[in-house]
């Protein structure tokens, strides 16, 4: 399991993470899903940061730099503009931030339920897979030998 270092983010950083996560994936009434800034999802992100902590902190620091102050303290339209600039800049820290948000969002029970996916680990239940129709191979069988003999 990834290491848990909940203390790795300061309160300011948590607020910034919540803001940017909410901009990435907002709640949707249409699909009946929370946003990525939902308390439980955010708590999962913070608790499971582990080795991604330094990169995420770097991305959050960059948000503050682009904001010219506290990103989380900006009004909503400015926040969105700054987040868009960060995304356009890209780079490894932003990719890690993106991944951390997505990997916690798409393992939330409510989100998986909205996608029709059972919220569970693959083991031990596994999945059912249809066998399929092996008569589809008939045309391939009819083609005869396709490999070369070697001297």
- Torsion angles phi and psi, residue 80, rounded to 5: -60, -40
Of residues 39 and 151, the one with the C-beta less far from other proteins: 151
Of residues 70 and 99, the one with the C-beta less far from other proteins: 99
Of residues 75 and 134, the one with the C-beta less far from other proteins: 134
Q: Residue 23 in contact with residue 79, Cβ under 8 Å?
A: yes
Please state, in angstroms and rounded to a whole number, the distance separating the CA atoms of residues 103 and 56.
Answer: 14
Of residues 11 and 77, the one with the C-beta less far from other proteins: 77
Where does this chain bind other proteins (CB under 8 A)? 1-2, 23-26, 28, 30-31, 33, 48, 50-52, 80, 83-84, 87, 95, 98-99, 102-103, 105-107, 112, 115, 117, 119-134, 136-137, 139-141, 143-151
76-89 and 53-67 helices cross at what angle (nearest 10)?
Answer: 120
At its nearest, how many Å lie between other proteins and the CB of residue 128? 7
Please state, in angstroms and rounded to a whole number, the distance separating the CA atoms of residues 113 and 107.
Answer: 10
């Amino acid at each position: 399991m990834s290491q848990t270092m909940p203390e790795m983010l300061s309160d300011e950083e948590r607020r910034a993470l919540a803001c940017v996560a909410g901009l990435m994936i907002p709640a949707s009434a249409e699909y009946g899903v929370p946003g990525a800034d939902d308390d439980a999802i955010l708590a999962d992100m913070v608790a499971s940061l582990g080795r991604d902590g330094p990169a995420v902190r770097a991305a959050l620091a960059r948000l503050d730099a682009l904001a010219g102050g506290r990103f989380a303290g900006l009004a909503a339209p400015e926040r969105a503009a700054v987040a868009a600039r960060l995304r356009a800049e890209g780079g490894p820290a932003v990719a890690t931030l993106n991944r951390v948000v997505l990997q916690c969002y798409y393992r939330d029970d409510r989100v998986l339920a909205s996608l029709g996916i059972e919220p569970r680990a693959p083991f031990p239940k596994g999945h059912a897979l249809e066998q399929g129709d092996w008569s589809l191979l008939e045309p391939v069988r009819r083609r005869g030998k396709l490999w070369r003999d070697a001297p």
